[in-house]
């Protein structure tokens, strides 16, 4: 087990322990200490502030599970894929984000596409599920599962947002400044698109 995996497990143990030991001051204190030790090591790995990490951890309650995200590939008839440039790091990505409660994965993705690109889409088949582990990318401090779908544009107009100041359809092989593993995701979706074209 590498350090990032160890820290992720310690974070989950600490937060789950805090949730289930609220009336036990001794165990509560031990889990609190474990949480801060874990956050301190996360801070050293990521360069984020300790209190920022502790605050992020405390937002989760109950039994700790991975976070879930959604992501989608939309192609135009020429085989170009819809990409957005993220405002947080300036890198190119397929549109998507964290899933919100009370929505299906498909509803979450349709909402993300609408917010980030201005397009209305139908969410088609699930292409793959991607996992990001703590420490794998600079800003990832807990395990994330991302459900990756292919989508079809059915309306709307390409419109930048505060999260995505630039966007458009691109030959993805010409893009160099990628967010996380989004080039790999675009390759996978493009191969499926090509196969359908015969």
Model confidence pLDDT, tens digit, residues 16-75? 999 888 888 999 999 999 999 999 998 888 888 999 999 988 888 777 888 899 999 999
The total of structural domains in the chain comes to 2
Q: Which helix (H) or strand (E) holds 36?
A: helix 25-46
Are residue 144 and residue 53 in the same domain, yes or no? no
Q: Do 47 and 76 sit in the same domain of this protein?
A: no
Please, is 178 exposed, middle or buried when counting C-beta atoms within 10 Å of its C-beta (0-12, 13-18, 19+)? middle
What's the pLDDT at 59?
84
Does pLDDT of 7 surpass 80?
Answer: yes
Mean pLDDT of 91-97: 97
Considering the domain architecture, whether residues 86 and 50 belong to the same structural domain is answered as no
Start-end of H helices in 47-197: 50-58, 105-117, 182-197
Work out the number of other CB atoms within 10 angstroms of the CB of residue 141. 25
Statement to judge: residues 71 and 53 lie in one domain: no
Domain hosting residue 171, numbered range: 67-197
Q: Are residues 177 and 85 in the same domain?
A: yes
- Count of Cβ atoms closer than 10 Å to residue 84 Cβ: 25
Q: Given this model, what pLDDT does residue 141 score?
A: 66
Do 155 and 71 lie in a common domain?
yes
What is the C-alpha to C-alpha distance for residues 22 and 112, in angstroms, rounded to an integer? 36
Q: Give the global pTM.
A: 0.75
Chain mean pLDDT for the chain: 92
Pick the last residue of a domain from 31, 58, 85. Answer: 58
Mean pLDDT over 144-152 rounds to 97
Q: How far apart are the first and last CA of the chain?
A: 44
Q: Are 93 and 84 in contact (CB under 8 A)?
A: yes
Average pLDDT, integer, range 99-116: 95
């Amino acid at each position: 087990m590498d350090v990032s995996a160890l820290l992720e497990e310690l974070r989950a143990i600490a937060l789950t322990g805090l949730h289930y030991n609220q009336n036990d001051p001794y165990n509560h204190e031990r889990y609190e200490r474990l949480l801060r030790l874990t956050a301190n090591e996360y801070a050293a790995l990521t360069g984020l502030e300790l209190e920022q990490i502790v605050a992020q951890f405390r937002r989760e309650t109950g039994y700790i599970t991975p976070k879930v995200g959604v992501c989608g590939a939309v192609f135009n008839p020429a085989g170009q894929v819809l990409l957005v440039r993220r405002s947080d790091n300036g890198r190119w990505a397929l549109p998507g984000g964290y899933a919100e409660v009370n929505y299906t994965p498909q509803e979450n993705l349709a909402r993300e596409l609408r917010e980030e690109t201005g397009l209305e889409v139908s969410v088609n088949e699930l292409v793959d599920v991607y996992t990001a582990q703590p420490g794998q990318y600079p800003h990832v401090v807990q395990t994330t599962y991302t459900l990756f779908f292919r989508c079809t544009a059915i309306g709307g107009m390409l419109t930048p947002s505060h999260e995505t100041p630039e966007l458009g359809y691109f030959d993805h092989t010409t893009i160099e400044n990628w967010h996380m593993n989004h080039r790999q995701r675009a390759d996978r979706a493009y191969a499926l698109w090509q196969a359908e074209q015969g």
